[in-house]
Amino acid sequence: MRWLSGRGRRTVVLVAVGSTALALAACGADGVGGGADGEPEGREEMYQRVIEDPHPDPAEVIDAAGAPGDAVRADDGSLLLTYDAGNVEDDEGPAATAWRIVGPDGRTVAQHAEHADAEDIPPRFEAVRGGFVRVPPPGVADGAYALDVRGKRHKVVSSGTPLRSRPGDVLLAEPEPALIYRPSTRTVAPPAGLPDDAVRIAVDERGTVWSLDQPLSDDPNRLVWQRDGRTLGSTTVPEPFLGGVVAARGGTAALSLIRDEGVRGLLVTTDDGEHWRTVLAGGIAWTELKPDPDALVLELLTDGRLLVGEESGRYWLADDRTNSAFHELRTPARFTSFTVAGTTLYGIADATTATYDLVKGEGVWTSRDGGRQWRRVGGVPR
């Protein structure tokens, strides 16, 4: 389950290989339809038909998309995969989205598809206790709903009253507005006590809210951590850096350090903020990262190791939980999404824009040994 902050990017969190292999193998439905002349329907014909259908079939949307864009795991091992098929010729026009819930045994439990517009942001979900919650569209507080592991939809209450964070709370959106979700009451609300200039947020499994305070004045950036609405501590971002992406889990927290519009290092603690260390080398080719700091992938394994990289780019994994030295991962395909579940690495290879064809290595890949060996999960999409 992902407890870390999102930044509007697609993120994948998956289950163990055994059930996921069955789940994804079933995602490419058999039975491609025929064309009007009786010839087998090609991918382009099928794709166009699916996105223009006002009531698309979930299996056909999944087949057209080729690979999931996002996947999250509930606490019982159920997996929710989301798919998006957009207009290939233009950034306007028809589109289709779908989600599928797969149980721990690898069997499809529920699925749903909707006709959409290519300009719409595809639905995104977070895993929570007992199921999943739909993330509100950017910039709004409404629009969330919950799905249990059987696919039944439940109402979510949107509240303007800030919630004092506690264990089990999940960060849904940040930074404008910052929202957390409380599964016990199915409530979405802003977290209480955030600094006025908070621009980046992470919520760990203990309910600690880690936020980057970035004032408009010349005052330095600060990383602040709070729980139950009370400030537990703060640290100043070292000059000449600005703060970027925040990640936190199990007493370890990390903040990317930005200079000259690029990520140049990390600020790291492994003891709940008692001591901090800057990592400006460590084997990571910081100067070769893309100039967009928001493209940074920063994730924590359950053993305390950090994963650092960039979307559709290169990735480095810490050698141990001190997070002082990293080694570059060799991946079998170019991953558009990359994350961790426990100590297992997962990546999705997919097209970055809508296309009729599949990209090389398209699908889900997993590694249980720190990226030394990879295996394709499930069948190869058509």
Give the model's pLDDT for residue 31: 40
How high is the mean pLDDT of the chain?
84
pLDDT in tens, 94-125: 999 999 998 888 789 999 999 999 888 888 99
The number of residues making up the chain comes to 382
Name, in order, each residue with C-beta under 8 angstroms of 354's C-beta and a sequence gap of 6 or more: 85, 86, 87, 88, 95, 118
Q: Quick one: pLDDT at residue 173?
A: 81
Whole-number pLDDT of residue 100: 92
Structure confidence by residue, pLDDT tens digits, 334-368: 998 887 777 878 888 888 887 888 888 888 788 88
pLDDT at 165 over 60: yes
Query: The pTM is what?
Result: 0.81
The pLDDT of residue 213: 92
- The answer to whether 172 and 133 are in contact (CB under 8 A) is yes
As a whole number of Å, the CA-based R_g of the chain is: 21
pLDDT of residue 38: 60
Backbone angles phi, psi at 152, to 5 degrees: -75, 135
Give the three-class secondary structure for 297.
strand
Residue in the structure block whose two tokens are 């959409």: 116
Please tell me what DSSP assigns to residue 359. P
Residue-wise pLDDT for 281-324, tens only, equals 999 999 998 888 888 999 999 899 999 999 888 999 999 999 99
Share of the chain above pLDDT 90, in %: 49
**Residue for token pair 């350090």:** 257
Token pair belonging to 26? 């079933």
